[in-house]
Structure 1
Amino acid sequence: MVLLSLVASHHELDLAVLERLSSDTHAVGHEIVGAASSISGAVVLATCNRFELYLDVDDAAHTPAARAAAAATVAARSGYDPAAVAAHLHAMTDTDAAEHLFAVASGLESMVVGEREIAGQVRRALTAARRDGTTTSDLESLFQAASRVSRSVEAATGLGSAGRSVVGVALDIAEQNLPAWADVRCVLIGTGSYAGASLAALKSRGVGEVRVYSPSGRARAFATARGVRAVPAGADLADELAGVDLVVACSGAAGAVLGVDALAEARVGTSQPLTVVDLALRHDVDPGVRELPGVRLVSLHTVAQHAPAEHAAVVAARAIVQDASYAYEAERRVREWNPAVVAERTRVLGGLEAALQELPADLRDERSERSLRRRTRAALHAPTVRAREASRAGDTAAYATALADLAAIAIPAVQPA
């Protein structure tokens, strides 16, 4: 098995490119597994600032074909040329892929270093793969390890404990143009997990009034469950913005929910400042609204320019991530290489037990049999330990020698008492 990750993120690509790559992510994993027989599993991690594929490939020799199949599948969904998709997706394998995912889950690759939301997004990516039937035991192990590493990083460094998030940084930026939080009137667009995180951040700051608008009509249930009001179903969003100080948009709908012309018309006759925070990758709000008088737009690009990071904590976190990735890869090799060791041990010990069982009861001696079992296990012990240590170290030559030593051990001859 080879772990292959294909990664595109805000570090290298414009968010508009990431938006297109992330089209129909719910179908991509299943289609990738069906695209090549060498790919037995896939987990898709798509967030507001990254698009990543984690693939379980059967052999290192098949990774180029697997990469091409994945790029072709994403291209068909995004409308990009397959060659362009392949160029956008940076490939990593095994230890490098594990280290990258561990860093992502720990918030080290986020716009806001140490953000909290990403750990949950990593868990949900695995849950989605389970639902779609595209996960494997190796991918399960990898993503569960990533969650453990994320918790270890937070416990050891404090990253994430301050509650930093994309939402938090966006609201810090927005605060400069708002009245006191208790006086802020806000409309929240969206009802998904990101909208829930946004509402929690708004409440923690003491926002006086929050109303929820949903393009899909789910605002009432979402708002009722969280103790806020919903914009009535079917209402025109622009009409609901009269007297509003802040709009936080994170619905992820296909296309802008609030356009320039609609907002311009809604603001006729008012000079009240309006701050719009658009956290949706696909732009819930037309970016052109920033040109309207009195309107300030805070986007993911704005967040990226203002995101903080603490150098010492990040250095310590990366050391934890690197150590964890090496340990994970070592244990993965042990699991992958161990069956041959087990087979040799089973051959010898199983053969011994079979031979002992064939002896007539009146010719068996319990003390002699215990001694024979003890000597046999002692003979197997040293090469078994050497094989597993070589597996952990990735030393193929030492592993082969230890395995050959195990294969050379004959089934002990059983003599009647």
Structure 2
Amino acid sequence: MTMLIVGLSHRTAPVALLECVTVSGDALLKLLHDVRQDAHVSEAMVVSTCNRVELYADVDKFHGGVTALTDLLATHSGVPQEQLTRHLYVHYEERAVHHLFSVACGLDSMVVGEGQILGQIRTALRTAQHEGSVGPTLNELVQHALRAGKRAHSETGIDRAGASLVGVGLDLAGRVLGPIAGRRALVVGAGSMSALSAATLARAGVTNIVIANRTYERAVRLAETVGGRAVELTGVPAEMAQADLVVSCVGAGNRAITTDMVLAAMAGRSRPLFLLDLALPHDVDPGVRTFPGVTLVDLDSMQQAGIGGDGGRGAEIDAVRGIVAEEVAAYLDQTRAARVTPTVIALRSRAAAVVEAEMGRLTARVPELDGKLKDEVAHMVRRVVDKLLHEPTVRVKQLAASPAGDHYAEALRELFNLDPKAPGAVSRMELEQ
């Protein structure tokens, strides 16, 4: 089985297309289930954010896996396959590993270096674990990628230099409104992006924060963390009329903020209103851009403006790329060595079986052999066998770390006629692990 990634992101697709393909909630679980049920797939995970939708799968065949995953993305999004495939990328084997590690380290984000992607990958893994769609291969790969991401943020300045989309949006708000400390803010939604927005607003000195959400209890819990207050979703129009800054992160498919709401909020006021739409599908009707005094920044406008480039952070980015290269090499070495382990155990199991058989013959031929002497002979024979096997088993593990490492294990299996799946070898492997 081999790792395959099929997906699209802000680098390959317009936000309007991402908006159609992105999935969450029950739709994400259905897509995950269908990917896992495909005949070519043994393990699966779905990463769906405002910037990317990626299907991760451990597959038995490359072409069959690509076709299956592409078909499923088209079916679940409703986007015609000929339109979708123009924007898809495919990563396989080592390229798939490198891509995931780069994503986890923030190198592939719209805002390079942002740290939220780590939490999004972790959530995707937990969802896949809960649904039973990941096994040892994907689990180990993603866990290693998360460790690489943590290392990138702890050992370089990429996280300090690379703010999240929320931080970039608030920087843009400051250009329109002036200093946002002391301003009135409304956050629509109470999910993870809304929580990040509220926390960022509080750190920026916004002391009057209102959280609006369909589930009032969730709004209350989030508001308590930032010293704000909560309202029902129906309270958005009245709160927006008082706000200077609105951040919307619902993404439910219906417009959370309509043109009528914004018109009502702007009636009789002279100060500007800044709207930051971080949702996919979009929350704010794009028609509000034409209203005097209203500024709307959403993922479309960020993408078109090219926001989130390296911003003069070449040194930090180069350092993170170095970490990615190191961690990818370490992961590949580890997995190659793991692939040869069943063969080594099968060889040792075969040797142990030969020793036991020969000791049985010795006992049959010399029944009067003293028990203590018999044990000494058995011990000596096992030591001889262990010493003979030590060098080739150590070498084959070392050679397994090379790109062609699988060939050495294959040669060992051919020379000794080994079957790593034989009951004896499997039992011993389970004990040693």
Partner of 2:173: 174
Residues 87 and 41 of structure 1: is their aligned pair in 2 closer, same or farther, counting only changes over 3 Å? Answer: farther
Matches within 5 A, 1:203-218: 203-217=202-216, 218=218
Q: Deviations over 1:174-205 (max 9, x none)?
A: 11122433320010011001111111100111
Shift of residue 244 of structure 1? 1.2
Q: Aligned partners of 1:234, 1:244: CA distance in 2, in Å?
A: 15
Partner of 1:306: 307
Structure 1 range deviating more: 188-197 or 209-218: 209-218
Q: Aligned partners of 2:162, 2:70: CA distance in 1, in Å?
A: 36
Residues 113 and 376 of structure 1: is their aligned pair in 2 closer, same or farther, counting only changes over 3 Å? Answer: same
1:28 has 2:31 as partner: yes
Any idea what SS the aligned residue of 2:190 has?
coil
Q: Aligned partners of 1:234, 1:321: CA distance in 2, in Å?
A: 43
Partner of 2:8: 8
Any idea what SS the aligned residue of 1:48 has?
coil
Partner of 2:397: 388
On the 8 A contact 1:187/1:213 being kept in 2, the answer is: yes
Partner of 2:47: 45
Q: Aligned partners of 1:44, 1:169: CA distance in 2, in Å?
A: 26
Partner of 2:370: 362
The aligned amino acid for 2:333 is: A
On the 8 A contact 1:243/1:272 being kept in 2, the answer is: no
Count of residue correspondences = 403
Partner of 1:412: none
Partner of 1:286: 285
On the 8 A contact 2:212/2:235 being kept in 1, the answer is: no
On the 8 A contact 2:249/2:279 being kept in 1, the answer is: yes
On the 8 A contact 2:12/2:88 being kept in 1, the answer is: no
Shift of residue 300 of structure 1? 2.0
Q: Aligned partners of 1:284, 1:138: CA distance in 2, in Å?
A: 37
Q: Aligned partners of 1:31, 1:81: CA distance in 2, in Å?
A: 18
1:339 has 2:342 as partner: yes
The aligned amino acid for 1:379 is: L
On the 8 A contact 2:49/2:120 being kept in 1, the answer is: yes
Structure 1 range deviating more: 123-132 or 257-266: 257-266
On the 8 A contact 1:252/1:283 being kept in 2, the answer is: yes
| Structure 2 unpaired stretches of 5+ | 419-433
What percent identity do the matched residue pairs reach? Answer: 35
Shift of residue 354 of structure 1? 5.1
Q: Deviations over 1:331-379 (max 9, x none)?
A: 2222233212321221112331454367366254343332221110111
Partner of 1:415: none
C-alpha RMSD of the superposition: 2.1
Q: Aligned partners of 1:87, 1:371: CA distance in 2, in Å?
A: 66
Partner of 2:261: 262
Any idea what SS the aligned residue of 2:205 has?
coil
2:328 to 325, 328, 352: 325
Shift of residue 407 of structure 1? 4.6
On the 8 A contact 1:183/1:208 being kept in 2, the answer is: yes
Residues 224 and 313 of structure 1: is their aligned pair in 2 closer, same or farther, counting only changes over 3 Å? Answer: closer
Structure 1 range deviating more: 263-272 or 189-198: 263-272
Shift of residue 280 of structure 1? 0.8
On the 8 A contact 1:211/1:228 being kept in 2, the answer is: yes
Residues 86 and 362 of structure 1: is their aligned pair in 2 closer, same or farther, counting only changes over 3 Å? Answer: farther
Residues 83 and 366 of structure 1: is their aligned pair in 2 closer, same or farther, counting only changes over 3 Å? Answer: same
The aligned amino acid for 2:53 is: F
1:400 has 2:410 as partner: yes
Q: Deviations over 1:371-393 (max 9, x none)?
A: 22111011112221232233211
Residues 118 and 264 of structure 1: is their aligned pair in 2 closer, same or farther, counting only changes over 3 Å? Answer: same
Structure 1 range deviating more: 189-198 or 253-262: 253-262
| Structure 1 unpaired stretches of 5+ | 409-417
Any idea what SS the aligned residue of 1:66 has?
helix
Partner of 1:126: 125
Partner of 1:160: 159
Q: TM-score, normalised by structure 2?
A: 0.87
